[in-house]
Amino acid sequence: MSAKLLEGKAVAENLKAKIKAEVEALKAKHGKTPKLLALQMCENASSAVYVKAQKKVAEALGIEYELRTVPDSIAQGEAEGLIKSLNNDANVTAVILQLPVPKAIDAKRLVNLIVPEKDAEGMHPQNLGKILLGQYRIGPCTAMAVMELLESTKVNLYGKEAVIVGHSEIVGKPLSLMLLNKFATTTVCHIATGERGILPEHVKQAEVLIVAVGKAGIVKGDWIKPGAIVVDVGINRVGDKIVGDVEFEGASQKASYITPVPGGVGPITTTILMRNTVELFKGQLK
């Protein structure tokens, strides 16, 4: 392997130290700390892991954290009423709706109901719109985590050929705007690119490649441009292993930097959630 490993842990630790110091300074100045409330409507193994990790990171950073669990029989109207009451609760400074939600619940409608000032995940249309305008301090956690990883390489993105594979609302689309804001020449590939059979053609041009599809090995190692920075967001279970969307063995021979999976983007996302929480709190103090 010739590529340097882009590990998320070191980036996350660095961010955590800054956030912790900021929370302490805000407390000293204003006598208050941010409070993140996680609303959970469905309990399952993966969401249990997430909320446990959120609580641990929040508390380590001096952020108050509350998990509010409601029965999965909750009706849409009742859930909307709950979000509205959290919007009006002065003690709660940020809200995250844990996914998944019960089948009868329209998650998007609930996310849009969280006021943008308390939108910890940066998924409210108003907060997403600010990314388009280049005026954002918070944003979707995974996309922001990718930007932190890229920043940690100290490589200037100005004029670089950036290719994103996957155009989801939580990763590919916001990331495309974030990269444009850095003046990267940004191409977004999606299902239609794959269906036309021209995914390799695009990937081969990438000096910065971000893959967020959710299909193990969809990007082949020999497609990687020599010296490319490769950020693999994908998480796929293959047998008893977790692997990414990029064939790691081949890609790591050609890339200059590459994320391991697991251990790349994942460790940073919860920390970004906390940074969003602190940024929202600062906005409310103004």
Q: Considering the rule CB under 6 A, would residue 171 count as an interface residue with ligand NAP? A: yes
Contact 91, 35 (CB under 8 A): yes
Q: Considering the rule CB under 6 A, would residue 172 count as an interface residue with ligand NAP? A: yes
Q: Which is nearer to ligand NAP, 110 or 203 (CB)?
A: 203
Q: Considering the rule CB under 6 A, would residue 168 count as an interface residue with ligand NAP? A: yes
β-strand pairing of 161-165 with 208-211: parallel
DSSP 77-91: HHHHHHHHHHHT-TT
Give the whole-angstrom CA distance, residue 219 versus residue 203. Answer: 8
Query: By CB under 6 A, what part of segment 85-144 binds ligand NAP?
Result: 142
Going through the chain in order, the beta strands assigned E by DSSP cover 4-5, 35-40, 64-69, 94-97, 161-165, 185-189, 208-211, 229-232, 236-238, 241-243, 257-258
Q: Which is nearer to ligand NAP, 111 or 170 (CB)?
A: 170
Q: Considering the rule CB under 6 A, would residue 199 count as an interface residue with ligand NAP? A: yes
Name the one range near ligand NAP by CB under 6 A: 19-27, 120-128, 164-172, 175-183: 164-172
Exposed/middle/buried for residue 71 (C-beta within 10 Å: 0-12, 13-18, 19+) = exposed
Q: Considering the rule CB under 6 A, would residue 165 count as an interface residue with ligand NAP? A: yes
**How far apart are CB 140 and ligand NAP at their closest, in Å?**
9
Contact 171, 143 (CB under 8 A): yes
Number of residues that bind ligand NAP (CB under 6 A): 26
Task: Show Cβ contacts of residue 156 under 8 Å, excluding neighbours closer than 6 positions.
Answer: none
Q: Tell which one of 62, 139, 166, 174 touches ligand NAP (CB under 6 A).
A: 166
Q: Tell which one of 49, 191, 198, 285 touches ligand NAP (CB under 6 A).
A: 191
Give the closest residue to 145 by CA, choosing from 75, 41, 235, 81.
235
Q: Tell which one of 212, 231, 255, 278 touches ligand NAP (CB under 6 A).
A: 212
Q: Considering the rule CB under 6 A, would residue 269 count as an interface residue with ligand NAP? A: yes
Q: Tell which one of 20, 55, 68, 190 touches ligand NAP (CB under 6 A).
A: 190
3-state SS assignment for residue 257: strand
Pattern 227-256, ligand NAP, x by CB under 6 A:
------xxxx--------------------
- Footprint of ligand NAP on this chain (CB under 6 A)? 142, 165-168, 170-172, 189-191, 193-194, 199, 212-215, 218, 233-236, 265-266, 269
